[in-house]
Structure 1
Amino acid sequence: MTIKDIARESGYAVGTVSRALNNAPGVSAETRQKILEIVNRHNYEPNANAKHLKQQANDGIALIVKGTQNMLFAGILEPLQQIIEESGYVATVYYIDEEANEVAQARRICTERKPHGILFLGSNPEYFTPELEELGIPCLLLTNSAASLRIRNLSSVSVDDMAASDTMIEYLYKKGHRRIGIIGGKPNLSRPSLARLAGCQGAMLRLGLPFDMEKQYAYARFSLSSGYEAMEYLLKHSPDITAVFAMSDLMALGAIRALRDHGLCVPQDISVTGFDGIALGQYSVPRLTTIRQNMGQLAQRSARILLHNIQKPGNAVHEIVSFDLTEGESVREL
């Protein structure tokens, strides 16, 4: 039995099976259990030599992912890997810290593995310079736009973060909220956070809403625990807020837990909204109101663009994918 046989029997992509066998992030407990049951049933043992040869093969595409707790990325990775592998390439995932230099990582990968292309999931724009062209292979930035960077071998697929955040602030305004707190990443280190903050500030200025960056903006990593801590910061520095917009659903869910631990209810006391549209937000109590990114479309378009540029090198392509505001139960009308 081979890893492809396990993938066929389990119904999962080869990349998903590989991550489950290597205990890598991005695989749910249910998926991992199903795969391991098949492995145990057939007494499958990975071939170390074959694995080594596979790693040295030059038919790969590198997927560099910033952070290990972003469930949006996990939802994108599985269909992305499946499309890449069905096209005859090996998809290898490299997880790095949220604040690490992904371009430096790309240089190391090119030196060691010589991939055909690189896809970046999450990014810091400071690291992307025209020197990226020296890698000599097509690259693609996913979930962030690279149009303004004007790097010839760097394409991108993303939602309009500014417009999406503007939409959420206006939604809260129409629900009667005038004091809104924001939980997000460090704008100088996170391109999505920078764009989403700009969208929030633009909407607040247009609607005449007050916004004090020091008191109403709480820094957080894209995780539950960091969202929890950021909510505690807002409660301390902006006790009069009636709503919170978190720049990821995980941050929002962490904030809801913090509010509950402080004896406050969502949305009766404070409304909470998120960004991403991960499945977990629709099973939380209350269901989360959020900006939903189309994970399937993001995966499909990014894979197709990168594969096309690998097979027929050409100009960089920049696409914007639509978003939806999904109403849950986490916002109260004042």
Structure 2
Amino acid sequence: MTIKDIAARTGYAVGTVSRALNNHPNVSPKARAAIQQAAAEMGFELNVNAKQLKQTHSNTILMVVKGTRNELFGEMVEKIQQLISETRYQLVVDYMDEDANEAARAIKLCREKKPLGVLFLGGVNENFTEDFRAVDVPCVVATNDASALPLANLSSVTIDDREAGRQAVETLISLGHRRIAIVGGDRRLSDTSRLRYEGCLQAIQAHGLDFDPARDYQGVRYSYRDGYRATKALLAAGREFTALFTCADVMAIGAIRALGDAGKRVPEDVSVLGVDGLPIGEYLVPRLATVVQPAEEMAARSVKILLDGMENGAPCRHERVPFWISCRESVRKR
């Protein structure tokens, strides 16, 4: 007894029968009921070992996390795990280095694990090349805008990173700061870092501030350690700055330690403003001023879009969620 026998009896295609017997979501209730009834009447038993070897898709959702030290992603992973646990799907989480190619990693893992959908936390648009068309399931990239990519199965959820950078620097300028330094990521490898830097430059140029990227910008990895090292490098260059904007809260926390070790007080000598809105920022001394990204909202929207694509065949969509600036104790007026 094979699925071909059930297909002949019910009149449904072999592929439809296979999906119904393997609990694939893309089968109508009517077809599923008819196929399952026929299978029961004919005494059909699914060969589980063969299923595992030959199945088209598993019952899993793959999540590729770009960066092992990104605490914003840690918050989002926790929320996504909670949301997926309330469904019939299993979540497989894969962590990779922040400079590695997430699209290539997903192509490889999709061949191995055959997920029904893929979530990316972090991404770089240029990594999603023609080869990515081999991934034929719905995908969502969170914290990166993929709207410019010609991929019909790739959605995205993010803040407006360029505007976030612009408003952050505008906030520092409104507090009277004119000598501003920036710690961000590698703009060649990170769309997020590039966009936030471009927003910073918009504000700096609009106010005619003196800013030399070679002197006043450090592009490093997203970590406490690199935020510390980058700030030490800025100080060693001899440039006197009264405000520091970092593209992530973890960088800002490292920067505050570096400033303290150099005898600088925050915010009396240097104001520090980060991005992310990590919960730890509320418990630092001083409390960290930050551009707040709504981590749980981005996670929830990403999961909803993915499930809609998986279960209803919904087209891809690209959403921007609002951010806001929390001016806490690490910034002050000049």
Q: TM-score, normalised by structure 2?
A: 0.82
Distance 1:148 1:333 in 2: 39
5+ long unaligned stretches in structure 2: 1-51
278-287 or 202-211: which moved more? 202-211
Q: Which residue of 2 aligns with 1:329?
A: 329
2:317 equivalent to 1:317: yes
Q: Percent identity?
A: 44
Q: 1:232 Cα shift?
A: 0.6
Letter in 2 for 1:181: A
SS at match of 1:316: coil
Alignment RMSD, CA only?
A: 1.6
Deviations 1:236-292 (A, max 9, x none): 225211100000000000000001111111011111110000011111110011000
2:225 equivalent to 1:218: no
Distance 2:105 2:122 in 1: 13
Deviations 1:164-223 (A, max 9, x none): 111110010010101110000001101110110011011111121122110000122111
Distance 1:332 1:201 in 2: 21
Letter in 1 for 2:171: Y
SS at match of 1:285: coil
2:123 equivalent to 1:123: yes
Q: Which residue of 1 aligns with 2:93?
A: 93
Distance 1:148 1:216 in 2: 30
**Any conservation in 2 of the 1:60–1:91 contact (CA below 8 Å)?**
yes
List aligned pairs for 1:1-334, cutoff 5 A.
58-334=58-334
**Any conservation in 1 of the 2:57–2:116 contact (CA below 8 Å)?**
no
Distance 1:68 1:286 in 2: 26
Distance 2:322 2:238 in 1: 33
Q: If you compute each CA radius of gyration, which structure gives the higher value, 1 or 2?
A: 2
Letter in 2 for 1:313: G
5+ long unaligned stretches in structure 1: 1-51
Q: 1:82 Cα shift?
A: 1.5
Distance 1:123 1:203 in 2: 26
Distance 1:125 1:212 in 2: 27
Distance 2:231 2:149 in 1: 34
**Any conservation in 2 of the 1:157–1:320 contact (CA below 8 Å)?**
yes
SS at match of 2:235: helix
Distance 2:240 2:253 in 1: 20
Letter in 1 for 2:210: P
**Any conservation in 2 of the 1:216–1:238 contact (CA below 8 Å)?**
no
Q: 1:162 Cα shift?
A: 0.7
SS at match of 1:296: helix
**Any conservation in 2 of the 1:181–1:238 contact (CA below 8 Å)?**
no
Q: 1:134 Cα shift?
A: 2.1
**Any conservation in 2 of the 1:169–1:200 contact (CA below 8 Å)?**
yes
Q: Which residue of 1 aligns with 2:46?
A: none
Q: TM-score, normalised by structure 1?
A: 0.82
**Any conservation in 1 of the 2:293–2:324 contact (CA below 8 Å)?**
yes
Q: Which residue of 2 aligns with 1:37?
A: none
Deviations 1:86-134 (A, max 9, x none): 1211111100001111111101111111000111101122211243222
Q: 1:325 Cα shift?
A: 0.3
Distance 1:173 1:273 in 2: 12
Letter in 2 for 1:271: S
SS at match of 1:275: strand
Distance 1:211 1:150 in 2: 36
**Any conservation in 1 of the 2:124–2:144 contact (CA below 8 Å)?**
no
